A and B are shown apart, each in its own frame.
Chain A
Amino acid sequence: MKQISLFFLFVFCVLQSYGQDATLVKGMVRDQTNQPVPGATITEKGTTNVAISGTDGTYQIKVKAGATLVFSYLGFKTQEQRVNGRTTVDARLQDDQNNLNEVVVVGYGQTSTRGDLTGAISSVKGTEIAKVPVQNVAQALQGRVAGAQVTMADGTPGSEPKITLRGGMSISQSNEPLYVVDGVPQTDGLAFLDPMDIESVDVMKDASSTSIYGARGANGVILITTKKIKSGKVRVSYDNYIGAKKITSELPMLSGYDYVLSQYEYAANSSAAIQQKFLSAYGTFADLKKNYENRPGNNYQGVLFGNTAMSQYHKFSVNGGGAETQFNVFYSHNQDEGIMLSSGSVKDIAKLTVNHNVSKKFSVNAIVNYANQQITGIGTTEGGNARLSFLQNILQYRPIMGLNGSDQDLLSQDVDPLDPNPNSPTFQNPQTAAESNQRDNRIKTLNINTSLQYNFLKNLTYRGLVSYSDINNKTKAFTDARSIVAVRSGGAFGNVAQNASTRFNYNNTITYANTFNKKHKFDVSVGQEYIYNYNEGFSVSASAFPAENVGWDNLGFGTISTIPNSFARDEKMLSFFGRTNYSYKGKYLLTASLRVDGSSKFGEDNRWGVFPSGALAWKVIQEDFMKSVKAISDLKLRFSYGTSGNNRISDYLAFGTFGNISYPLNNQPTTGVVLNTLPNPGLKWEALQSANIGLDLGLFKQRIMLTTEVYSNRSKDLLFSSRIPASSGFATQLRNIGTTSSKGVEVTLNTVNLRNANFNWNTTLNFAFNKTKVLSLSENETSMVVNSYTTTNDYILEVGKPVGNMYGYIQDGLYQVSDFDYNSTNNTYTLKSGVVTDATTVRPGYIKFKDLNNDGKIDEKDRTVLGNGNPKFTGGLNNTISYKGIDLSIFLNWSVGGKVYNANKLNMQLLDEYSNDFAYMANRWTTINANGQLASPAELEELNRGKTIPNTIGTQDRRLYDKMIEDGSFLRINNVSLGYTLPQKWLSKAKIGNARIYVTAYNLHVFSKYSGYDPEVSVMRSALTPGVDFSAYPRAKSFVAGINLSL
């Protein structure tokens, strides 16, 4: 429509301008940040006289004296300048805040303008992302897209953030959206992309938009377009930043003296042998104060996380080309040290894009992208078992050496002489542990992507895409002889594993577009897609290395090898789809699509899924009656309904497969087989039905723009590997078990607060509210209890309740002396009748739980919902201010109402032999009187008046209770960035096209009541168990300084 009217305008102008005198005007077109804008259109107003700016942004045009020049370029506001006798007219184009003309990618080569959109799609421009460099593209979306929740599971270098759109519907399968990079669907994350290489990110949120991606669209689809090629003079650019980061906070631990006191108390309550051990290690009670009061002890968090970690980024790129062939090639190097000792990530990316126009009808595009990422370090979650992760080791390791050496000695002794299990040490000084457990993960990703377009007729276009990707993931681990794991298992051991996956994908679409009677504009596309995934891998390990060894590079040095294993699996998917867009007079818009997907993952009966959708939009602003309402510059109502699916499950689950095991007869490995899983031939897709109502409102010539989306989603046939009665012969089975709903509202507000030639201030604010609910579970089930970080059944899925409810006990104070009868002869406490009993034998000072069902005893029936790990609402606020060459952006994001399950705290709320505790435990219920003796009942009462922190000596009680649930609401100053674009007059002397320098601070501060490292944490990566903080890698704040340079 637009093009057509432009065409008429053009013809009209040609007629008008014929035969007038002209003078030559030169100039340069730049954007807000003084970057040259190539390809901008410069029109002499009222004429057909047009010029296009070159790659360096310059132009020249012959115009009549006194003419007015119109500068226009897609995505920018059109600008008019009167020549007024000047021979040089420079233009600085402002970002078009009126996004109605913004191009939105809608999948399979098709685009739409924002104004013609019927579904709920949010976009982020690459220029925005490039301004504030991030490690991963996903991170760049944080807080910028209403309804997209981007959480870093923790701060591990190289770790991928998790994106959930609209709360995530699947309860057990991946909630990760489908990523479509330059038309190629990806399910392996975005690590292979360079965040600086992004042109645009379009986030499809409602099913009418995503159903074109059918079985993989239920979690939303994120379409990523990498940098487009610009033709013209060859242009070289260089981007760089360097940065430094520091841990944001340390968790307060017991002071050295308090630690020794806790150990004294433990010993006093334990056997004579343990008391003797304490005495020889730390001395008599009478001397403790003297010996330890002024001894702070080691701060292992400082040792392990105290480093200043450096990061640096370099990118060289060259692009250019003529009308027929254009190219873009870049290489980037990104080195990111972790704040933890010997951890970090290095990523190298090389990419080549070539465009070739064979003829006017036929064009070909090819992209080759190679990424090589190396991630090193043990991470914080690895460890001997679920309860003793590496972070827990750091926190719990004893800070005080005692009488027999300085505390510093603890860092040099590989195995602590005091370890309670000298035969099989459980703790090791964390420095040795970090250094002796070497880990290396290299991910090499090659993507080759060829697309072609052929315009058969003016209205009929064929698009084809063939892509191949090869991901090679190699992990190497070597545990050298110093590690306690090696001590326990008889020497150093190592493992090398490699996983290779290849994906072959092609799709073909044919589009017909036309307009009839100037009123009916429509297009129809039909297409087909095929995906073949093949995945194979192996793992080899060897152990019992001699003292001298070369580590993982020659496992042959090991003296024992395990039987190596390997696997291969494949998956196929065949799809057909169609989509039509129709608009009437530009006022009424209709989109309908249908996709049929067949997937090899499902049982024969349920292999094919059909995913229809439809959407309507009414551009109210186009109606005549709106013409008089001047204040309103845009008004559009949208409604959509559609379905999509989720098939992210392992291969072959519908089959019953026999796997190998060994039952060794006569000391020989003898291979047997067992049925791996209980097959479920009825397995089918998770299906999402989604309704979305959207309102786009623009006020005051689009100075204020508001987009509101209201949605209601319903997910059924949810796949869940549910615990089933063991009498089936299996512990779990993957089943389609239930239905959940989520409803929410998303608001995005863009305002232009100030705008003039030199000064610009824009604000983007977004809010998202989301509420989930379990509508049904498998037959006759009303609730399902699930585990989080250990097998403690601490989350519940209950019909009628939200997903992500934490489930446990309520503390009702502590057991008091008065609750017991005391037997002085054998110093035992027996509960008085009438006092609530517990399955474990209780003593004064133990946690008393609330007997919710009033049956006089505490058992699993007294558990209740303690909170929900999902936030009530999330949002982001971005302010960008530019003044001449200076640009400033301040970005805040927040999350309100989500609870955090502080499992670090729960795991450590024990008075255990050897281990250190959080500082608050100093104020625990104590069993020791001032003389260091076990307190009598009367003393106990006196010593512990008003105490609320339990003393759990003699129990291993880690049942979840309310005090371990904390408010996870936060407001984060996510980043503040200040940039300066050097004035052109300085640069032109140095023959530099453009240069910008900037500094950015990340994660400056978090306002939160949470007592752990960071409230934005969820280590379990499952929608069922959000908000668990166990052994998360602590987050850092960082500062970077960078430069963007182009010649």
Chain B
Amino acid sequence: MKFINNKVLLSAICLSLFATSCKKALEVQPYSSFTSANFFENENQAYMATLGVYQSLGQQATYGWYINLVYDNDTDISQIDGNVDANQWRAIPHYAITKESAFLDQTWIALNQGVGRANVVIAQIPQMESYNNGTAAQKAVLNRLLGEAKFLRAYFYFDLVRLFGDVPFKLTPSQAGEKFDVPSTDRYVIYDQIIKDMKEAAEVLPATLPTDERINKWGAKAVLARVALYAGGYSLRNKGGVGVMERPTNYKTYYTLAKQQIDDVIGSNLYALNADYTKVFKNQSQHILEPKESLFEVAFFNQASSSVGGNAVGQFNIPTTANGVYRQGNARVLVLKPFFDSFDTKDIRRDFSVAAYQINAAGLKVPYLASRGEENWRVGKWSREYQTGALQEQQSTNINTVLMRYSDVLLMRAEVENELNEGPNALAYEAINEVRRRGYGINTTGNSIAIELTSAGSGYSAVPTFTITGGGGTGAIGGANLISSTGALGPMTIVPTGYPNTINAGYGYTSAPTVTVTNPWPDNTANWAAARAYTVGTYVKQGNNYYRVATAGTSTNTPPTHTTGNSTAASTGAVFTYASTAVVKANLITKPTTSDADLTTGLDKQTFFDAIVKERALELSFEGGRRGDLVRWNILGAKIAYTKSIIRANYTYVSATNFRPNQHELYPIPLSETDVNKSITQNPGY
């Protein structure tokens, strides 16, 4: 009888005394939550509030789906599957963006909410008793939390300005009665604050390698370097309602800022690339933190099998996977063939990053062989194959979204050095080559393999499965085309490897593996019989020979005995094709050396820049940064047009028709926002 408490009785007395303690009679205490009046009393509460700020990164509308997987799409390396109409969210990557988009609005709200949460922490911690008069340990804890909140606030503003341009700017916690419909602030005013916040954060954050997903000093500096490159890059400016892509005249000061941060990070000597490129993503897929390569990541873990709290990475950007050995997902990110083609064949990253195959229920990788099959290629980096397969991860995964890897830092160094020195210096070459060598697998043991058809076989109805065993490596996939007239296997046409029966060259093979190929005929093939009506595709056994019926008919009394090609109808009734099993072998490909991997020396500034444009795609593909890079370099439109010009004529690539330069570089301010804040200037073209 919880409800009959003292206060009830009190109010009864209150009646008799008529309103002596009426105020008390109406006092209530929220049972299920903390109130602002009693919060921020100790470090643990400050910590919980800071985690609340982090959580704005880990939502579907931010880095659990939209920003990294949906918005950063339809570039020169990937696109979202389906037509604009298939689902509303597709309108955004497909450049059919409207202000009404609920998806953009959710992101807009989530990022602003992140700022708001950070503002509360930044305002409250300095007022705490233990921040001012506590022990050194207490102060250290609170300083770190304050630094984290500042870093995160800066990060949310960074996303806001790079996605939406000039936005309302606010650094204080919101109070009731405050006027919120403030006009947009110039993005460079906001950038100044972002830089200031991140610098201050870096001062107080721990300088050691982290043991969890909380940001440290070097992570903050690496992100600041990226911020500086965006600030020093192009963005769409509003010139009286007309969009113009512009960068600031003093953009090099931002590059200098970036250089300082990069030098600090690399100079810390704490970071290194994992020798095995593939291991980085396999570890991500298995939730193994990679503190030396990964500088900043968003944590995901969903307790239940729902999309709340989980990540779309690993179920949205995966190969098409049938339910069976692995769990199906929503494989929606398509890889563009020209991107695949842009890799060097020796580059291990190509076959690992691009899934030119689908995974069937048996867990086998089946190449897309039909014409236009390459339009179905998808992302391979976070394949279900590498995941732990936990039930919780069926609908959304616990994979972290990694926002800053060390290879990005190295590539930023190459870019910054090239820009500041008006051409690549040794540092720039060293940095990009470090990334490339790792990508070519130079420091790992084992090689890639090429699969070779030594005997084409005959009488196949379908391309058989190539089973590759042994050799110590992984990832290789063989494939073939079926030559319909003879049922023999032949080279594939859509794979530009120079190894026409290799769909994936794999890696890590120390000896040539064995490749077995299934027979054309089924195991229980019946013996040939006279005077029987045979339909096309039936297999018969005659002695030790197998045949496939090529033309239907009734068999005569003459059995087929030939060991090549077709029998004649006149002699055997039905036409029988001799069936034989193809023979396939694998050869180790010569292991690439540093000279294979290294970039051509002596490049000029522009050529080296072009190499960075390409290298960032090869190294960081599908990780959520491509579109942003292209925008800051002001080549998004050009890259889309170029891709269209080299892609097969009837390849579905809607960006080519939908992309409008000087508009789509920024998203519209959501209509729901401009409906309530009329002081905001809408972005050009919307």
Assembly CA distance A676 to B36 (angstroms): 10
B568 within 8 A of A: no
Further contacts, 18 of them, CB under 8 A, given A502-B3, A728-B180: A271-B375, A272-B650, A423-B320, A423-B328, A544-B391, A544-B394, A560-B305, A562-B303, A574-B26, A660-B33, A663-B54, A665-B51, A666-B299, A672-B51, A672-B54, A729-B115, A953-B85, A955-B85
Given known contacts A488-B395, A726-B109, A956-B91, is B35 in contact with A657 (CB within 8 Å)? yes
Within 8 A of A (CB), among B167-206: 167-170, 173-174, 176-178, 180-182
Q: List 29 A-B contacts (CB under 8 A).
A: A423-B329, A490-B391, A502-B3, A506-B12, A544-B391, A560-B392, A561-B303, A568-B32, A569-B32, A576-B19, A655-B36, A656-B36, A656-B37, A657-B30, A657-B36, A658-B39, A662-B309, A664-B300, A674-B117, A676-B33, A725-B182, A725-B677, A727-B180, A728-B116, A729-B116, A729-B120, A791-B672, A793-B100, A954-B83
Which of A506, A676, A723 is the one whose CB lies under 8 Å from B672?
A723
Q: How far is the CB of A582 from chain B (nearest CB, A)?
A: 25
Which of A541, A570, A722, A952 is the one whose CB lies under 8 Å from B304?
A541
B327 within 8 A of A: yes
Given known contacts A672-B55, A860-B671, is B330 in contact with A955 (CB within 8 Å)? no
Q: How far is the CB of B327 from chain A (nearest CB, A)?
A: 7
Contact with B along A621-665 (1 / 0, CB 8 A): 000000000000000000000000000000110011111111111
Report the tally of A-B residue pairs with Cβ distances under 8 A: 294
Q: How far is the CB of B173 from chain A (nearest CB, A)?
A: 7
Assembly CA distance A655 to B32 (angstroms): 13
Verify B304–A673 contact, CB threshold 8 A: no
B105 within 8 A of A: yes
Given known contacts A560-B304, A569-B30, is B52 in contact with A731 (CB within 8 Å)? no
Contact with B along A898-914 (1 / 0, CB 8 A): 00000000000010110
Q: How far is the CB of A509 from chain B (nearest CB, A)?
A: 12
Assembly CA distance A502 to B391 (angstroms): 40
A600 within 8 A of B: yes
Verify B305–A490 contact, CB threshold 8 A: yes
Given known contacts A490-B327, A674-B117, A860-B99, is B109 in contact with A731 (CB within 8 Å)? yes
Q: Which residues of A contact B91 (CB under 8 A)?
A: 956
A358 within 8 A of B: no
Q: Which residues of B contact A559 (CB under 8 A)?
A: 391
Which of A124-132, A678-686, A755-763 is the contact stretch?
A678-686
Within 8 A of A (CB), among B235-273: none
Q: How far is the CB of B123 from chain A (nearest CB, A)?
A: 12
Verify A504–B3 contact, CB threshold 8 A: yes
Given known contacts A669-B303, A673-B52, is B117 in contact with A729 (CB within 8 Å)? yes
Which of A491, A598, A912 is the one whose CB lies under 8 Å from B22?
A598
Verify B113–A730 contact, CB threshold 8 A: yes
Which of B98, B105, B300 is the one whose CB lies under 8 Å from A840?
B98
Given known contacts A672-B54, A678-B174, A791-B105, is B309 in contact with A664 (CB within 8 Å)? yes
A841 within 8 A of B: yes
B88 within 8 A of A: yes
B533 within 8 A of A: no
Verify A528–B391 contact, CB threshold 8 A: no
Assembly CA distance A976 to B212 (angstroms): 72
Q: Which residues of B contact A953 (CB under 8 A)?
A: 85
B598 within 8 A of A: no
Verify A534–B330 contact, CB threshold 8 A: no
A702 within 8 A of B: no
Q: Which residues of A contact B605 (CB under 8 A)?
A: none
Verify A728–B658 contact, CB threshold 8 A: no
Verify B84–A955 contact, CB threshold 8 A: yes
> Top 6 A-B pairs ranked by shortest CB distance?
A729-B116, A672-B51, A490-B394, A664-B301, A656-B36, A727-B168
Assembly CA distance A504 to B3 (angstroms): 7
A5 within 8 A of B: no
Q: Which residues of B contact A421 (CB under 8 A)?
A: 330
Q: How far is the CB of B618 from chain A (nearest CB, A)?
A: 28
Which of B167, B181, B212 is the one whose CB lies under 8 Å from A666?
B212
Verify A607–B26 contact, CB threshold 8 A: yes
Q: Which residues of A contact B530 (CB under 8 A)?
A: none
Within 8 A of B (CB), among A402-451: 420-421, 423-424
B441 within 8 A of A: no
A931 within 8 A of B: no
Assembly CA distance A724 to B177 (angstroms): 12
Q: How far is the CB of B49 from chain A (nearest CB, A)?
A: 6
Assembly CA distance A273 to B321 (angstroms): 18
Q: Which residues of B contact A652 (CB under 8 A)?
A: 28, 30, 33
Q: Could you say which of A536, A569, A726 has the most chain B C-beta atoms within 10 Å of its C-beta?
A: A726
Assembly CA distance A541 to B289 (angstroms): 30
Q: Which residues of B contact A271 (CB under 8 A)?
A: 375, 652
Assembly CA distance A676 to B113 (angstroms): 11
Q: Which residues of A contact B301 (CB under 8 A)?
A: 662, 664, 667-669
Q: How far is the CB of A13 from chain B (nearest CB, A)?
A: 47
Verify B26–A567 contact, CB threshold 8 A: no
B379 within 8 A of A: no
Q: How far is the CB of A398 from chain B (nearest CB, A)?
A: 16
Q: Which residues of B contact A270 (CB under 8 A)?
A: 83
Which of B85, B120, B304 is the one whose CB lies under 8 Å from A954?
B85
B285 within 8 A of A: no
Given known contacts A598-B22, A659-B33, A671-B48, is B182 in contact with A727 (CB within 8 Å)? yes
Q: Which residues of B contact A955 (CB under 8 A)?
A: 84-85, 96
Q: Which residues of A contact B58 (CB under 8 A)?
A: 663-664
B7 within 8 A of A: yes
Q: Which residues of A contact B39 (CB under 8 A)?
A: 658, 673
Within 8 A of A (CB), among B36-91: 36-37, 39, 45, 48-55, 58, 83-88, 91
A472 within 8 A of B: no
A88 within 8 A of B: no
A839 within 8 A of B: yes
Which of A598, A655, A723 is the one whose CB lies under 8 Å from B675?
A723
Q: How far is the CB of B212 from chain A (nearest CB, A)?
A: 4
Verify B675–A793 contact, CB threshold 8 A: yes
A1025 within 8 A of B: no
Nearest residue (CB) in B for A955 is B85
Q: How far is the CB of B282 from chain A (nearest CB, A)?
A: 16
Assembly CA distance A679 to B289 (angstroms): 39
Q: How far is the CB of B644 from chain A (nearest CB, A)?
A: 11
Q: Which residues of B contact A574 (CB under 8 A)?
A: 11, 14, 22, 25-26
Which of A489, A542, A676 is the one whose CB lies under 8 Å from B395?
A489
Verify B327–A572 contact, CB threshold 8 A: no
Verify A567–B32 contact, CB threshold 8 A: yes
Within 8 A of A (CB), among B349-404: 372, 375, 391-392, 394-395, 398
Q: Which residues of A contact B372 (CB under 8 A)?
A: 272-273
Q: Which residues of B contact A664 (CB under 8 A)?
A: 58, 299-301, 309, 398
Given known contacts A665-B299, A729-B117, is B55 in contact with A674 (CB within 8 Å)? yes
A493 within 8 A of B: yes
B420 within 8 A of A: no
Contact with B along A15-40 (1 / 0, CB 8 A): 00000000000000000000000000
Q: Which residues of A contact B167 (CB under 8 A)?
A: 727
Nearest residue (CB) in A for B111 is A726
Given known contacts A270-B83, A675-B117, is B52 in contact with A663 (CB within 8 Å)? yes
B647 within 8 A of A: no
Verify A543–B304 contact, CB threshold 8 A: yes
Verify B673–A725 contact, CB threshold 8 A: yes
Contact with B along A959-997 (1 / 0, CB 8 A): 100000000000000000000000000000000000000
Nearest residue (CB) in A for B668 is A839
Verify A673–B49 contact, CB threshold 8 A: yes
A508 within 8 A of B: yes
B15 within 8 A of A: yes
B540 within 8 A of A: no
Verify B3–A534 contact, CB threshold 8 A: yes
Assembly CA distance A621 to B309 (angstroms): 73
